[in-house]
Structure 1
């Protein structure tokens, strides 16, 4: 009797393959896709995630002569696998993944694009991914991406994509609870739909502005906009903090796909661990302190 590969193994392998430069929401959606497929008896693994510019140059060099930054990446012995030069792939910005199916025991990769493969792609699209198998020109069946509506040039210029949390048919219950608390605490009227959209983000920013005014007399206009005055006014909080600002931090971390445990306004070990993982994934200083850089990463 064959032993079925454990979900934990597929998730651990995939996290390793995605690397450290992934957008946290894209990463969370990829892991949720694996779990949903697993529950349907389909065993999925991520083969690639974040890709450096040098790695992209090496891939682009397969099957052609290509020099990037003075280095020859030509490899005519292999076939073309991508038409994207360095900086022209969403992998380079942590916004794309590649996947494949594995055998029931997890020991063999299966690259046949069959009904199981198409079902995984469908799950990915339900979560907000764009599937390369739907492209008309160059079909890229393993490829899934979230662009946030941005082009390569916009990303290269430093613009950050706005991507919502993974979509579900009923909405995320924890996000619904957050939305209810925001409406009650800060007199907003956002939809309680379980989706982290622009209005929920704006309401969280408004909550932070209200708390900064109330607790630190910052005299901000509570307009829900992440402007220069709000960026300057934010404070640094750390483990041991107990306040509504901690609750906002916990809510924002959860929205980004990093679970801080119970949203209770208490900056404990689980909140610190979630913050640390988020900072590492976002490639900012992982100092376990929620300061200006972290707040800006969460809301910019």
Structure 2
């Protein structure tokens, strides 16, 4: 029985959280998964953002609709409605089944979450909500409904600060690039229908869904099957791009991908010295041939684990 991959857990969880999550809450939830995985614990997020209507339907469960009562919060009374909460569960070793037993592994996952700033529903005195994690910054739902938003602290150590000034040569990764990643996500979203992916949350955080979208755009441009899986056919569809021979669409894809990997570039479709320098730096970091040309081997490094 093969162990479920970390990327699979992250991708499922990011998809389940949906759009509209607070960026720090989202990034912290993904970090819980990463840290738990290192300890042999498989955490998956089951839900994140909920609309008021979704919350009301959940509230009706066990009251006016079939099922058991799972929440005491109506629409607007849950921190899920403001992108500040997630629910989680554990999976089996192969990731094929959810497990809901609140055992030592479950409590360890909750402890990891609390170390990152989450409050755990399992600590509540009245209504124990063991799958629930939230960050409110001390705000009540009444304050949130009135428009207040919390100031949260990122404790993951993986935050992406604004790009550093490196003379614009793109030769080394900028430490972060949140605003640049947002630009890349906006660029990718224009292809969401053609490339068959759900609109990305423009949050400036590079996660599995962003890389999946970029891979699907690569497959769209290469006119091959759009399945989000890097394979021989996708690799064969990628043309070399260089200063002397490049196409704007492919160049923008390269630039967007490098931006999401931490490089400081404009997404302008111009394969100039900045882009060539970033490609060379990336190739060097991956231990492949350094020529400043983005070809199949470089794209494979981009997307082989997307």
Q: Report the TM-score range of the alignment, normalised by the length of the smaller protein.
A: 0.5 to 0.7
Maintained 8 Å contact 1:251/1:263: no
Of 183, 191, 205, which residue of structure 2 is paired with 1:258? 205
Tell me: CA distance 1:119–1:158, structure 2 relative to 1, closer, same or farther (3 Å).
Answer: same
Correspondence for 2:21: 22
Q: How does 1:102-181 map to 2 (within 5 A)?
A: 102-165=91-154, 167-168=155-156, 171=157
Structure 2: how far apart are the matches of 1:26 and 1:159? Answer: 16
Structure 2: how far apart are the matches of 1:144 and 1:112? Answer: 16
Structure 2: how far apart are the matches of 1:143 and 1:163? Answer: 18
Tell me: CA distance 1:158–1:112, structure 2 relative to 1, closer, same or farther (3 Å).
Answer: same
Q: How far apart are residue 121 of structure 1 and its match?
A: 0.2
Q: CA RMSD in A?
A: 3.1
Tell me the secondary structure at the aligned position of residue 177 of structure 2: helix
How many residue pairs match? The answer is 191
Correspondence for 2:77: 88
Q: How does 1:3-42 map to 2 (within 5 A)?
A: 3-42=2-41
Q: How far apart are residue 8 of structure 1 and its match?
A: 1.1
Structure 1: how far apart are the matches of 2:262 and 2:11? Answer: 24
Correspondence for 1:101: 90
How far does the alpha carbon of each residue in 1:127-154 deviate from its partner, in whole angstroms, 9 at most, with x for none?
A: 1110000111111000000102211111
Q: TM-score, normalised by structure 1?
A: 0.57
Q: How does 1:265-280 map to 2 (within 5 A)?
A: 266-268=265-267
Q: How far apart are residue 9 of structure 1 and its match?
A: 1.0
Maintained 8 Å contact 2:160/2:176: no
Tell me the secondary structure at the aligned position of residue 57 of structure 1: helix
**2:33 equivalent to 1:53:** no
Structure 2: how far apart are the matches of 1:173 and 1:79? Answer: 39
Q: TM-score, normalised by structure 2?
A: 0.56
How far does the alpha carbon of each residue in 1:255-282 deviate from its partner, in whole angstroms, 9 at most, with x for none?
A: x762554464x4348xxxxxxxxxxxxx
Structure 2: how far apart are the matches of 1:40 and 1:78? Answer: 34
Structure 2: how far apart are the matches of 1:94 and 1:161? Answer: 11
Q: How far apart are residue 252 of structure 1 and its match?
A: 6.1
Structure 1: how far apart are the matches of 2:144 and 2:204? Answer: 21
Maintained 8 Å contact 2:178/2:205: no
Gaps of 5+ in 1: 65-73, 183-240, 270-300
Maintained 8 Å contact 1:28/1:257: no
Q: How far apart are residue 162 of structure 1 and its match?
A: 1.1
